[in-house]
Every structure is written in C-alpha cells, then in structure tokens.
Structure 1
C-alpha cells in the first residue's frame, strides 16, 4: 500500500493557517505519507508554482537531515 497525501484538500478548510513546511512534515511524520500531492486551488486549476517549490524545498531539507 502507498499513501498519497494532498497538502490542501479541496473539501476542507484549515482551522488555523499553517506553513507548507508544517503541513508536509505532519503528513510525512504523523500521517506516514509516501508521497505528497500538490494540486491547484480547484478542479482543473493550475498548481501555484511557488507552493510547489516550497514543498519541494521542504522535502529536500527533510531528506538531507533524515
């Protein structure tokens, strides 16, 4: 089984604002996600490349210190 976790599920709303780094860390550490999904703000919308870069940077730092 492989777990794919979306950092910003479209059918929910966060109770508080959190950084993408916090969300990614929680998905991987607590949720045991094998991969993180970064999608657009809505169905058919493009991915915000700034968010994609931040998530990629967070993942690279996690790999470096793991």
Structure 2
C-alpha cells in the first residue's frame, strides 16, 4: 500500500471493475427487457391483426351466404 495516499491499486481496480461489471449487467438486462417488451407487443399486435382478418373472412363468408 502506498503510505502517502493510502491508495492500493489492486483493491481499487477490483472495486472499479466490480462497479463497472454491475453497471454493464444492469444495462444488458435493461436492453433485453426492452427487446422482450417490444417483441411481446409485436406478438400481441400480430394476434390482433390475425383476429381482424379472421373476422373479415367470417363477414365475407356471411355476405356470400346472404347473397
């Protein structure tokens, strides 16, 4: 340990490394959550589009039967 400043380079490097590691972990988790949420919303939208198409097909078939 440096007796003048009390700075221990190995310990401080490990501490900084851990803090940076935690920050990166949180950043990656946040990014994956955002991507998952967007994918989930996209899947819900696709299902809604499919439901609308199904309703249109049913209505079209009903119109043909009523003719």
TM-score (norm. length: structure 1): 0.29
Per residue, is there more strand in 1 or in 2? 1
- Quick one: higher RCO (CA 8 Å, sep 6+), 1 or 2? 1
Structure whose alpha-carbon radius of gyration is higher: 2
